Amino acid sequence: MKAAVLKAFKAPLELVDYPRPEVGDGEVLVRMTAAGICGSDVHMWLGEDPRTPLPMILGHEGVGVIEEIGGGAKLDVFGKELKAGDPVIWDRAVVCGQCWFCAVKKLPNLCRSRWVYGIHKGCSDAPHLNGGYADHILLVNNTKIISLADWGDFDPAILVSAGCSGATSANAIELADIQMGDNVVIQGAGPLGLYLVGYARARGAANVIVIEGVKARMDLARRLGADVILDFGSSTAEERKAAVMDATGGFGADVGFEAVGRPEPVLEGIDMVRRGGTYVSVGTAVPMGTIPIDLYHQIVLKQLRLQGAWTNDTRHIVQALGLVKRNPDIFADMITHRYPLEAANEALRSMAERRAIKTAIVF
């Protein structure tokens, strides 16, 4: 079984052959059909994520087909019996389910024992196959699996982002508590921002305002329901704020989202949100430095709620799947680059150089 392995930061991934693993009780061997290249993968490849052990198989976004189930009957999260040949997607995170965060606060994304396929584990030891940049992945017993057997014929590449960007955005939307008629501003229309547009529209937002500098991303945002598109490349911060104020009757947005992946846009975004509003930072996935915030004027005097959004729970993956299922053509067009496993290095570069909106490895 073949995998593209990260052995050194900033170095090309190497193709490595591994033996077929033994499938233990409750484990599921999945033949990959598509793996997403996430911006987080680029950070890990460059050595910017402190969680990255070496050597490792990158890839935490995946869709595949069950090849073998260990120990007899196994159910998905809806109680459906899983069978060999079923297409599936899975929660990239494995949590303990018993700690204070999991059991009491119902925040499994904050579980201290949480680990993620393609992020936290190296591949030196058997069974090796714990990341998505491989033709197979072995899912451990307590992985939450979602059957896609009732989807009929579908392009697996359109679903890879549902397990990460789509789910994380759903968590951010839930934390923001958007109400019908709210005005929403979204900074960035990469995969995170595009999901945010779709969710905000589904929640009944009156105006969805998107700030983006790439035409292809702006076009997808418009198709998902954005009302106002502000071109970052041809406008100043003052002009963008004036446009937001004009679209919101002079009050500012009820909710703002940072979906850029850097801290600097937060300062601009906060100033676009009304008094008593909410601002959610969801795009920053690795340490990126600090920004100066005027606590009195920007937070306290405005009674602003400043919220972070970290990954997701399994329910958010289900919500993301629903959005994709309602808009399959849009999410197909979001996958601008597709590569075979043998071209995993070019796939990574397409995201690192921002040539792609979303890249998928297809098998």
Task: Determine the pLDDT at residue 51.
Answer: 85
Rounded distance, CA 96 to CA 111, Å? 7
**117: confidence class by pLDDT, cuts 50, 70, 90:** very high
Percent of the chain having pLDDT more than 70?
A: 100
Same domain, 88 and 137: yes
Mean pLDDT in residue range 70-77? 94
- What would you measure as the largest C-alpha separation in the chain, in angstroms? 63
Task: Determine the pLDDT at residue 177.
Answer: 96
Q: To the nearest whole number, what is the mean pLDDT of the chain?
A: 97
Written as six digits, the tokens of 346 are 């070019």
Same domain, 15 and 123: yes
Contact 57, 123 (CB under 8 A): yes
Q: What is the pLDDT of residues 14-23, one digit of tens each?
A: 999 999 999 9
Does the pLDDT of residue 195 top 90, yes or no?
yes
Task: Determine the pLDDT at residue 343.
Answer: 98
Same domain, 210 and 134: no
Same domain, 12 and 125: yes
Same domain, 106 and 210: no
Mean pLDDT in residue range 297-314? 98
Partners of residue 15 on adjacent β-strands: 4
Mean pLDDT in residue range 274-284? 97
Q: What is the pLDDT of residues 212-233, one digit of tens each?
A: 999 999 999 999 999 999 999 9
Rounded distance, CA 159 to CA 318, Å? 11
Same domain, 185 and 271: yes
Same domain, 130 and 263: no
Contact 93, 120 (CB under 8 A): no
Does the pLDDT of residue 179 top 90, yes or no?
yes
Q: What is the pLDDT of residues 85-94, one digit of tens each?
A: 999 999 999 9
Rounded distance, CA 144 to CA 127, Å? 19
Strands (E), 38-152: 62-69, 87-90, 93-94, 115-116, 136-139, 145-147
Give the CATH number, domain containing residue 104.
3.90.180.10
Same domain, 180 and 247: yes
Mean pLDDT in residue range 294-298? 96
Mean pLDDT in residue range 67-75? 94
Same domain, 126 and 41: yes
Mean pLDDT in residue range 178-204? 98
Give the CATH number, domain containing residue 213.
3.40.50.720
Task: Determine the pLDDT at residue 285.
Answer: 87
Same domain, 176 and 219: yes
Closest by Cα among 358, 4, 27 to 164 = 358
- By residue range, what is the domain housing residue 252? 169-308
Q: What is the pLDDT of residues 143-166, one digit of tens each?
A: 999 999 999 999 999 999 999 999
Written as six digits, the tokens of 119 are 């992020």
- φ, ψ of residue 235 to 5 degrees: the values are -145, 155
Q: Is residue 161 in some structural domain?
A: no
Same domain, 194 and 285: yes
Residue with the larger pLDDT of the pair 73 and 111: 111
**72: confidence class by pLDDT, cuts 50, 70, 90:** confident
Q: What predicted TM-score, i.e. pTM, was given to this entire model?
A: 0.97
Which letter does DSSP use for residue 104 in this model?
I
